[in-house]
Structure 1
């Protein structure tokens, strides 16, 4: 299939080349204006390549990679540069692949690429990390979209095992579940079939909690706190309806004792979001629930105080534990 027929005009919001455009123009459109030296040589003489660089039409951003302009290099172009420099078997992996698929809230560097364990790779640009794998099935690789990258669940599992520490691994999993990139069950299936995955038990436990409704790191910290203290386990993300009939989700709900715990994150900086949560809280109080609210940082910094208030609320509601 020719490049002209393979890619839609919607790609990256860029203008589709004209029907009479040459193959090099289509290649640059397909690869966000990035190409390797090997690709350039298929279409141009060495003299023509040097001329484009010398006149500023192209810019050499790595030993064997060019970008077809002289302005700032975008995040997408850096990803292309990474896989083109590494070689034809390289794909985006881990946090980089997840970000290409929509994950937000993490730095874009370093760029992570994934390679089969046995293949050779080229020299890499600064800020690119290569990882090897012996287990990469066809269903682990996204069938559409370029450059190639791992599927969301595999991306998050790899990102968690490549994370600098356990806390960062849990943060990545929580963010991916909260943002709807993956579901906890998807992660568990990937972990179970990767024989050498790091942080196996941490990922399985975090994924199970995410599948049960704990969708943020603060909620996961809260759940761990409750379990260590031997308190009853609350329902997570329980659906309730407010006085206007709108569906609401409770962060944690001790249903038998009607004790509701709300964990406030960064969204409460927005006054409108804060008022919406206050209104929901008022509706619950009117109905007779006990509502406790904790900022996310308090759960980590003052766990004993959090436990004391939850324990007092449960006992006031009739818990005999």
Structure 2
């Protein structure tokens, strides 16, 4: 039987205090610095009071590891200069509706990488100390993380989505993201990201708005006002796309517009616009993907009915 350690042993009290700030996880070097030996660690693990996370971290408990603990374990596995990066850094900063299979950690070029299948630990030439937030779990700043998440995304669609989420959820802003993008000199997705950031700087707030802005330009249609503020007796609301000179409103309907709690509000807003004399066109996001030309035809018809004429 492994030797029991007194609960009030000062070394173990300090270890528990440190673990409470790190999701229940501490590194082996941290434990050694407190005077806890590798044999005592082994005894706690064999006694099923602690458990190993990778080969560098120890969870001071035997329950399920929290996502916060998983983040800390990944960084501790990466070494002293490791930090959460890309999508993992955004999640740590509070990003919602975005998941990753494994925690992504970056270390600088030349650093020793302790490989572990549980975590995605990579060297990167873009690592810089001034990009890292050290309060809490070490992670790259949101604007930097957003650009890297987009560069490392599996598809262009995912790259667009994660950039949009970061700005939409106010973890960062379009100007900061644009400044970070200027640091990227070479990447196959660089031009795509420039296009997305330009749209975000112009005020687009949803994937549908970004998509339709490109299609409108290709059609030679006039640019709309985005996120125009309107008021009615129920309060204020924003219009996705609005051409005030032609009294045309276009609303891009994502899946959330089909939720029961949104149906009544959407109907009341549309009715208020109609009573004010505006034409309202609703475009489901799926329809924009599958039949873009049909909906663009309707927008063009609405603009012409409002008095717009294409330049000769």
TM-score, normalised to structure 2, is 0.90
Cα distance between partner residues in 1 of 2:237 and 2:77: 48
Q: Which residue of 1 aligns with 2:4?
A: none
Q: Which residue of 2 aligns with 1:259?
A: 248
Alignment of 1:234-273 (within 5 A): 234-244=224-234, 246-273=235-262
Change (3 A) 1:86 1:20: closer
Deviations 1:52-79 (A, max 9, x none): 1111110112122211121212211111
Alignment of 1:183-198 (within 5 A): 183-198=173-188
After TM superposition, the structure 1 stretch with the greater mean CA deviation from structure 2, 304-313 or 31-40, is 31-40
Q: Which residue of 1 aligns with 2:76?
A: 84
Cα distance between partner residues in 1 of 2:98 and 2:223: 31
Q: In the alignment, is residue 28 of structure 1 matched against residue 19 of structure 2?
A: yes
Among 88, 91, 105, the alignment partner of 2:97 is 105
Among 17, 33, 38, the alignment partner of 2:29 is 38
Using the TM superposition, give the Cα deviation of residue 21 of structure 1 relative to its aligned residue in structure 2, in angstroms: 7.9
Q: Secondary structure at the match of 1:238?
A: strand
Among 298, 301, 306, the alignment partner of 1:309 is 298
Using the TM superposition, give the Cα deviation of residue 190 of structure 1 relative to its aligned residue in structure 2, in angstroms: 0.6
Change (3 A) 1:250 1:148: same
Using the TM superposition, give the Cα deviation of residue 29 of structure 1 relative to its aligned residue in structure 2, in angstroms: 1.5
Q: Which residue of 2 aligns with 1:225?
A: 215
Deviations 1:171-197 (A, max 9, x none): 111122222222111111011123345
CA RMSD of aligned residues (A): 2.0
Using the TM superposition, give the Cα deviation of residue 123 of structure 1 relative to its aligned residue in structure 2, in angstroms: 2.4
Using the TM superposition, give the Cα deviation of residue 199 of structure 1 relative to its aligned residue in structure 2, in angstroms: 2.0
Among 270, 273, 281, the alignment partner of 2:270 is 281
Cα distance between partner residues in 2 of 1:102 and 1:265: 22
Report runs of 4+ in structure 1 exceeding 6 Å deviation.
none
Cα distance between partner residues in 2 of 1:73 and 1:92: 17
Q: Secondary structure at the match of 2:251?
A: strand
Alignment of 1:126-137 (within 5 A): 126-134=118-126, 136-137=128-129
TM-score, normalised to structure 1, is 0.88
Q: In the alignment, is residue 74 of structure 1 matched against residue 66 of structure 2?
A: yes
User: Is contact 1:177-1:183 (8 Å) kept?
Assistant: yes
Alignment of 1:151-230 (within 5 A): 151-230=141-220
Cα distance between partner residues in 2 of 1:243 and 1:90: 53
User: Is contact 2:11-2:36 (8 Å) kept?
Assistant: no
The unaligned stretches of length 5 or more in structure 2 are 1-7
Q: Secondary structure at the match of 1:22?
A: helix
User: Is contact 2:115-2:121 (8 Å) kept?
Assistant: no
After TM superposition, the structure 1 stretch with the greater mean CA deviation from structure 2, 170-179 or 39-48, is 39-48
User: Is contact 2:242-2:250 (8 Å) kept?
Assistant: yes
Using the TM superposition, give the Cα deviation of residue 33 of structure 1 relative to its aligned residue in structure 2, in angstroms: 1.1
User: Is contact 2:113-2:122 (8 Å) kept?
Assistant: no
Cα distance between partner residues in 1 of 2:191 and 2:244: 29
The unaligned stretches of length 5 or more in structure 1 are 1-16
Using the TM superposition, give the Cα deviation of residue 135 of structure 1 relative to its aligned residue in structure 2, in angstroms: 5.1
User: Is contact 1:135-1:194 (8 Å) kept?
Assistant: no
Change (3 A) 1:296 1:104: same
